[in-house]
Amino acid sequence: MIPKTSHVTERPPIVAVMGHVDHGKSTLLDFIRHTNTVSKEAGGITQHVAAYEVVRTQINAGTDAGKIPRGSASSPRESAPSEGRKITFIDTPGHAAFKAIRARGANVADIAILVVAADDGVKAQTLEALQSIKDAKTPFIVAINKTDKPNASIEKTQASLMEKGVYLETLGGDVPWVAISAKTGTGVAELLDLILIVAEVEGLTGDSSLPAEGFVIEAHRDQKRGIAATLIITNGTLQQGQALLAGRAIAPVRIMENHAGLTIRQASFSSPVVLTGFDELPMVGEPFRAFTNKRSAEEARSSAISNTKTPTDQVQKTETSESEDSGERFTMPIVVRADATGSLEAVMHEVSRIGNEHASVAIVLSGIGNISENDIKSASSASPNPALVVGFNVNADAMAEVRARQHGIQIEKFDIIYKLAERLEELLNKSAPKRMAEQIIGNTKVAKQFSSRKGLHVVGGAVADGYLARGASVRVTRRGTVIGVGKIKNIQSHKQDVDRVETGSEFGAQIEAVFEIAQGDTLQCFITVSK
């Protein structure tokens, strides 16, 4: 509850932009910000949480701007004077690996924008984003995007949303919506106005006189400046000279930048800021609080819960049960480095999905920042085999490259998460020992026994299904009981030696076995293959 003082004022809304990958979230923010972040994203996919502060200004989006359909939010007035009002946007990745990041975005935000492409409809990550929004109880607006596409259908998209329980305004529901084209800007002005109307209905306020509080939305290690974190201030004011505590991480407020990279002396509620100088890496999603000075922050830390986890350079020990050990489960060890805590979390999520009951990937060390000489040492000492070193959006130090060549350590670097997952799966399949398995190729019944001498049995019949092959094994069953396994030494069909006989063909076969094969026995033919 925000104390009611003379410093309590209306605050700008914090808006999370969410949705399926490639449905246009970053393109929408690009248009609003008049930048080009999409081209800078590897593979055109947002792979970090980012926050931007914009000012609602007049948008000229073409001749259709005023004709686009929209759902109206309940509001005390017909239209809100929105010119010059601020909005803070959080851009969240759409890829499945970033599910946890999207959930945090919804928890931090006052309002969510669920972007759904009009040419693609509701997809898997759309539903994941929607569930995160519902779990956080965040009011949201649906933006039906890509209306400029030839195959776009607003009506079909509306129907697919309603099938998933999203009932839009003007269509019998209460969820406000607007049709847009993030590429051309059509409908974007209406979307911004709708955001501000919803914010007004929510009655968002803040107290600038209080010490700042909020959440860490991203953190990384800067080679030159040390540990930095992107913060969203939800209330109060953060200013130079203070100290900030996020979990166990403390940073004196000295070097602070706004979303545009400009150095600032203070920031207030709803603003995104980048703060440098943390003594350890704060966890993404961690709440923070500002204190008058560093000593006060240290006193608060010392009295806090001591078992707070840190994501820095943690050894990941994979524990297996006795049953797994006895089954000789293969593990491929890797060392993981990523550029930010959110990225590392996503990589670890993808790694956990790779493999099967016989083979998996084991993270022996993980951390934030460039690949270092220590990572190579850890990789070379991994048991029973040296570890692969994986970097996501990071480089390798010069000495690390030298040590890797000396020790024969493989370094793999990626900037797209699904490419990383595909490569690890490929390497695991190559590294895991091949397993032998039976493959059933045919079945038949012995119609006649011709001879039986010195372990060689000549029988005849017709193939019931599949085929019988020279050199294949046969499992012999009599009255429901398996009596043994033999091997086909020779096959004849129509008095000619053949390599195989197919379904329905009559045959005579010479089978090697240490037991008698009798008329009426069932033969199951199989081969052994590697997997």
State pLDDT tens for residues 285-316: 789 999 999 999 999 988 875 544 544 444 44
pLDDT at 33: 78
Rounded to the nearest integer, the mean pLDDT of the chain is 83
Q: What are the residues facing 473 on neighbouring strands?
A: 487, 526
Burial of 274 (C-beta count, 10 Å sphere; 0-12/13-18/19+): buried
**Bridge partners for 214 per DSSP:** 233, 288
Instruction: Give the sign of the dihedral formed by CA 245, CA 249, CA 252, CA 254.
Output: negative
Average pLDDT over every residue of 390-409 = 91
| CA-CA-CA-CA torsion sign (368, 374, 379, 383) | negative
Residue 283 has pLDDT above 90, yes or no: no
pLDDT at 100: 60
| Strands 330-338 and 359-368, sheet pairing | parallel
CATH 3.40.50.10050 positions along the chain are 322-431
If you average pLDDT over residues 427-445, what whole number do you get?
87
CA-based radius of gyration for the chain: 32
- Report whether CATH 1.10.10.10 matches the domain 322-431: no
Label residue 236 left, alpha or beta by phi (over 0 means left) and psi (-120 to 50 means alpha). left
39 pLDDT band (50/70/90 cuts)? low
- Asked if residue 81 has pLDDT above 80, the reply is no
- For the four alpha carbons of 68, 72, 176 and 106, in that order, the dihedral sign comes to positive
Q: What is the DSSP string of 254-292?
A: SEEEETTS-B-SEEETT-EEEEEEESSPPPTT-EEEEES
The pLDDT assigned to 52 comes to 79
Question: Domain 8-204, what architecture?
Answer: 3-Layer(aba) Sandwich (3.40)
Which residue has better confidence, 290 or 3?
A: 290
d(CA 129, CA 113): 10
Check whether 159 has a pLDDT greater than 80.
Answer: yes
Residue 84 has pLDDT above 80, yes or no: no
**Please, where in the chain does CATH 3.40.50.300 lie?**
8-204
Choice between 364 and 501, residue whose per-residue pLDDT is larger: 501
The pLDDT of residue 35? 54
Q: Where are the alpha helices (DSSP H) in 385-513?
A: 398-407, 417-431
Query: Which pLDDT band holds residue 19 (cuts at 50, 70, 90)?
Result: confident
Q: What is the pLDDT of residue 145?
A: 95
Q: Specify burial of residue 66 (Cβ count, 10 A radius: 0-12, 13-18, 19+).
A: exposed
**Which regions of the chain carry the CATH code 2.40.30.10?**
208-303, 436-530
Name the band, by pLDDT with cuts 50, 70 and 90, for residue 67. Answer: very low
Where residue 48 falls among pLDDT bands split at 50, 70, 90? low
CATH topology of domain 208-303: Elongation Factor Tu (Ef-tu); domain 3 (2.40.30)
Q: Is the model more confident about 484 or about 342?
A: 484
Residues 6+ apart with CB under 8 A from 356: none
CATH fold for the domain made of 436-530? Elongation Factor Tu (Ef-tu); domain 3 (2.40.30)
DSSP, res 98:
G
Burial letters for 456-488: b for 16+ Cβ neighbours within 10 Å, e otherwise?
ebbbbbebeebbbbbebbbbbbbeeeebeebeb
